[in-house]
Amino acid sequence: MLIKLALRNVLRNGRRSSITLVVIVFGAVALILFGGYKARTFWGLRESTIRGRIGHLQIFKKGASKAEAHKPLEYALDDATSIRKQVERDPRVKMTAAQITLMGLVSNGEKSETFIATAVEPAKDREMNNQKITAGSDLPDNEPDAILIGRGLAQSMHVKPGDYLTLMTTTVAGSLNAMDVRIAGVFTIGIKDYDDRAVKMPIAGAQTLLQTKTVEKLLVFLNNTEDTEAVHNAFLAHLSGVEIKEWSELAPFYHQVVGLYNGIFGFLGIVVFAIVVFSVANTILMSVLERTREIGTLMAMGTTRGRLRAMFVAEGVSIGIIGGVLGLAIGGGLAFLINHGNVMLPPPPGYTTGYRLQIMMQPAVLLTAFLVSFVTATISSIVPAMKASRLKIVDALGHI
Amino acid sequence: MASNDVITLDGVNKSYKLGRIRVPALENVTLTIARGEFIAIAGPSGSGKTTLLNLIGCVDKPDAGRIVIDDVDVTPIPLHRLAALRLNTLGFIFQTFNLIPVLSAYENVEYPLLLQNVSRRERDARVRHWLGEVGLSEQLKQRPDQLSGGQRQRVAIARAMVTEPKLVLADEPTANLDSDTATHILDLLAEINARTGCTFVFSTHDASLIARAQTVIRIKDGRVDDILAARAA
């Protein structure tokens, strides 16, 4: 009877309940769309960061992260090949890729700029697919002196594919060394500051320039990101003389974005919460005022204060459930349309390329949207319910 | 052992605040009402009839004096703690019917039984019995706005009686009805009183209703002016 009464009273003033439901549905849809967008952004940023740049795990020589190196590759992996063999035995590992990072000067004979180079295994780097070639071609497999150059650096140096540059850096022994390189292609990763300084070169070329046969680190890529911690623990048990870092420790930008979006999402949640609270509270308060005589009658007949409170809270619960379910349905429908509508967003700050708007329908997002609708509608019915239960019977019966 | 009096009022006073002035509504009212009586509280508008019914009905508290309902001294008990007494001992019939508009006739009558946690089968039997008693067996599913004034008051009577109360309080039960309908409602109340032995106390200034009462308590300016044993109902 409690539920029946609540539902019928919700439907009693259809227009007012509809307006309240619109507010709740609007809030739930906003939470679903923004929450889904946030989830998709986090997922996309995480996966692109891992698979395009840093891998799920990075293996260094023990002490590399704490020691202050005085020379390039002072803490290099001497036996990368044997480590790689052990690592790749694990079926959860998709591939490994050796890398060296180096800095130096790049010159076209007339002008010099600083560069930051990532030395990669070309075949593995193509698989990572983390860059867009804007001119020329990708790194060839067997050409140690071929490089890719960042779009901004190429513009600054006035070079194009096929041109030659000279790279100069300090060797592992501490002396200066230089080598001429051919520009195979121009690339961008979409971040201007990076593109203005970036060079990519084969590991063999970097080893020649640095005069070494070692590598700085080994990137480990897994089939499934969720396995990261388990694989990390397994490697710790098997590998010695190395230290292993997870992607999460190596991706400060990812954490900054997560923090920022969570802050915005939290603020949005508070706004939605406040709007729903006031809207539902207003609806039920109006209902209490209109039904004052009815409340008096119910109390005269022996309805207890607690039961009366429960009746009005049940109305808030009903509104919350109806609004939450409608919000899920409409939010889900809108998300489907957006995901299939190829909606493009402009480039975010610091980026040069836009991206496709996508909403990820995660159970946690849907549950949050429903719970916010349900809980706020319930909470906002408490004050009107208390007000109703404290009415004086004789005054309520005489209410006109 | 239960006493023969279902209501005892002893030196009851009640006043209301109107702005800064206290207006006396009842002054030193002392009376007893025996079980099974069919009693009219008569008097002009503003004489204190409704106030007296409210105090007997435990929906208002006296400023002074003592009220005993069905052997329970209700005077010191807060109103919200008298919900069970109102539910189990009293029945209310209002001038404006006061049915729950979103519930059907059946559900309106069923409501107090739900408060009493009566089993579903017994609820159904009692609701159908009392709606049959008031002649509304065919209108079980009708909502109040689909019923005439007389039918609504019949639903209200069934709702008041379904808990088998010891005392039914009716505030101007025929005031919103035409004379024919009012006569039928009166006949119904008197017949139920005679058959069940339930005490009926109703306020009225309707001469025809007063004429049907066994006893008439006349109220004037908040005081009991006279108690007349009228002709039998």
Q: Which residues of B touch A393 (CB under 8 A)?
A: 59-60, 79
A9: nearest CA in chain B? B102
Read off the pTM: 0.72
Å between A45 CA and nearest CA of chain B: 54
Å between A307 CA and nearest CA of chain B: 9
> Which contiguous run of DSSP H or E holds residue A92?
none
Return contacts of B110-118, CB within 8 angstroms, 24+ apart.
Answer: B110/A1, B110/B162, B111/A1, B111/A301, B111/B159, B112/A301, B112/A302, B112/B87, B112/B159, B112/B162, B112/B163, B113/B162, B113/B163, B114/A1, B115/A301, B115/A302, B115/A303, B115/A307, B115/B87, B116/B87, B116/B88, B116/B163
Q: Which residues of A touch B102 (CB under 8 A)?
A: 5, 8-9, 11-12
- Which CATH number do you get for residue B68? 3.40.50.300
Q: Mean pLDDT highest for which of A340-349, A370-379, B102-111?
A: B102-111
Model confidence over A103-160: pLDDT tens digits? 999 999 899 999 999 999 998 888 877 788 999 999 998 899 999 999 999 999 999 9
Q: What is the 3-state secondary structure (H, E, C) of A26-89?
A: HHHHHHHHHHHHHHHHHHHHHHHHHHHHHCCEEEEECCCCCCCCCCCCCCCECCHHHHHHHHHC
* Residue range(s) defining the domain that contains residue B96: 5-229
Check pLDDT > 60 for residue A350: no
End-to-end CA distance of chain A: 26
Contact call for A297 and B59, based on CB within 8 A? no
Mean of pLDDT values over A205-230: 92
Q: Which of B86, B102, B103 sits opposite A302 (nearest CB)?
A: B86
Looking at residue B232, its pLDDT comes to 46
Mean of pLDDT values over B90-97: 93
What is the pLDDT confidence band of residue B1, given thresholds at 50, 70 and 90?
low
How many degrees, rounded to 5, is the angle at CA A363 between CA A359 and CA A367?
A: 105
Using a 10 angstrom Cβ sphere, with 0-12 exposed, 13-18 middle and 19 or more buried, the burial of residue A382 is: middle
Model confidence over A1-59: pLDDT tens digits? 778 888 888 887 788 888 888 988 988 998 899 889 888 888 888 888 888 788 999 99
Give the mean pLDDT of chain A. Answer: 88
- Helix ranges (DSSP H) in chain A: 2-12, 14-49, 80-88, 122-128, 151-157, 192-195, 203-210, 228-238, 252-290, 292-300, 305-339, 363-380, 382-389, 393-397
Q: Which residues of A touch B144 (CB under 8 A)?
A: none
B110/A contact by beta carbon, under 8 A: yes
B60/A contact by beta carbon, under 8 A: yes
Distance CA B111, CA B107 (A): 6
Looking at residue A351, its pLDDT comes to 63
Mean of pLDDT values over A360-376: 88
What is the pLDDT confidence band of residue B230, given thresholds at 50, 70 and 90?
low
Nearest CA-CA partner of A31 in A261, A275, A265: A265
Model confidence over B60-71: pLDDT tens digits? 999 999 999 999
Looking at residue A71, its pLDDT comes to 67
Preferred mutation among B80, B106, B109, B116 to probe A, highest tally of A CBs within 10 A: B80
Lowest mean pLDDT among A243-257, A335-349, B199-213: A335-349
B112/A contact by beta carbon, under 8 A: yes
Percent of chain B at pLDDT > 90 equals 73
Mean of pLDDT values over B7-35: 92
Check pLDDT > 70 for residue A67: no
Q: Which of A1, A4, A394 sits opposite B60 (nearest CB)?
A: A394
The number of distinct structural domains making up chain B is 1
